[in-house]
Amino acid sequence: MTDQAAKLIEIDTRGQVCPSTLLVALDNMNRYQEDLYSGKMKLLIRTDNRDATTTIPDTAENMGYEIEVRQQDGFYEILISRPE
């Protein structure tokens, strides 16, 4: 674990549908893989597509990441972070 707080990258996919939301998430998980695994970074994906609340977490968990899904007012937040 790092002594500094992890940098948060926020990605807004509201208005997009699957598989577009999943592809955006995958692109960013791959782009920031080293920083995500080291704990230097977390990804926060906002979506209003309910399907994305299962496709993105399932894929991210299969890649070894920790996932947290929160329902907000009219959208969802999916937090992707390093495995514990």
Query: Could you read off the pLDDT of 31-50 as tens digits, one per residue?
Result: 999 999 999 999 999 999 99
Other Cβ atoms less than 10 A from the Cβ of 56: the count is: 27
Asked whether the CA dihedral 25, 16, 52, 48 is positive or negative, the reply is: positive
Q: Which domains does the chain have, with CATH numbers?
A: 7-81 (3.30.110.40)
pLDDT of amino acid 31 = 97
Q: What does each of the 84 residues of the chain score in pLDDT, given as a tens digit?
A: 444 789 999 999 999 998 999 999 999 999 999 999 999 999 999 999 999 999 999 999 999 999 999 999 999 999 999 987
pTM listed for this prediction: 0.91
pLDDT of amino acid 1 = 46
